[in-house]
Structure formats: C-alpha cells, structure tokens
C-alpha cells in the first residue's frame, strides 16, 4: 500500500554538479601503477576461463574488460 505525504519529490533536473578533478598523472604512469599493484597483489584482474572467439570479439555487446558477450 502506498501512502502519499502530499510533498513533491526533489528533482535532480537543474542541479549543477562539480566535475571530478583531473587525474594528476599521465596514462603511462597509471599503467605502471596498475602493474605494480598487480605484482604486489593489491589488485587482482579477472581471469578468463577461455579466450573469446573472433566472432565474440566482433559482437557489439562484447565487453573488453570482462571478455564476454
């Protein structure tokens, strides 16, 4: 059962949001940091159970991060 309180919901339209601050390093430095995290065991990438086929890679729904459709 829904109960109405007579109050309207606040809408998100028209609100201004601050854009996130830029990353303070280059993409190459980020790659080096990620590699270091992987070797230190801080970050564990997803392991694939099998390599995706070429047909799966060509599919528009294919996710490069998770390697599946």
What lies within 8 Å, CB to CB, of 33 at 6+ separation is 25
Q: Does the predicted TM-score (pTM) go above 0.75?
A: no
Residue 32 is assigned to a structural domain of this protein: yes
Q: Has residue 12 been placed in a domain?
A: no
For residue 45, tell me if it sits in a domain.
yes
Q: What's the confidence (pLDDT) of residue 57?
A: 82
Query: Does any domain span residue 4?
Result: no
Domain that holds residue 45: 27-58
| Tokens read off for 38 | 């992987």
Is residue 22 a part of any domain in this protein? no
- Measured at the CA of 29, the angle between CA 41 and CA 24, to 5 degrees, comes to 110
Model confidence at 48: pLDDT above 90:
no
Name 55's bridge partners: none
Higher pLDDT, residue 15 or 54: 54
In a domain, residue 19? The reply is no
Residue 1 pLDDT > 60, yes or no? no
pLDDT of residue 28: 92
Considering its fold, how many domains does the chain have in total? 1
């Amino acid at each position: 059962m829904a109960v109405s309180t007579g109050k309207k919901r606040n809408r998100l339209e028209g609100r201004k949001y601050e854009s996130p601050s830029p990353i303070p390093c280059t993409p190459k430095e980020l790659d080096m940091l990620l590699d270091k995290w992987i070797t230190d065991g801080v970050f564990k990438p997803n392991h694939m159970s099998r390599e995706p086929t070429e047909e799966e890679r060509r599919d528009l729904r294919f996710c490069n991060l998770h390697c599946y459709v």
